[in-house]
Structure 1
């Protein structure tokens, strides 16, 4: 029996397979987009914002605005250090 291959079953080149482009194209697009994002981030960095008033947990008694922020500062310090939030 002779080995007969019809044109529809003949192997095709890898770049002519649609499934290959679906498998490789998605991740390649993500890698390309990450390099574009890196380029934009390096070319246009965010400016550093300087604040007039820097608050700490000890300065909570300085005024009404800082007293209002004391619970948020204590919670932030607790989340950052894992220590007690009340300082007791």
Structure 2
């Protein structure tokens, strides 16, 4: 029976093992990204909400309602079928 002999090569140092860098690299990258996010969040705070936000919202809604009312008073558009027929024949639509 053949006996196994111990390997004569020296083991590599822990920092020279590629698998170690794969295991440690992922969590290290996440920690670095978290620190970068924290630095950005602390150095650039969000602006404070306008103390009079409710009144400004009402004004915006009023303006939008006025624009919609003005748009609904625009002249009626010709029916799609009439326009399609005009485009297909090249002639003037029937009036």
Larger Rg over CA atoms: 2
Q: TM-score, normalised by structure 1?
A: 0.50
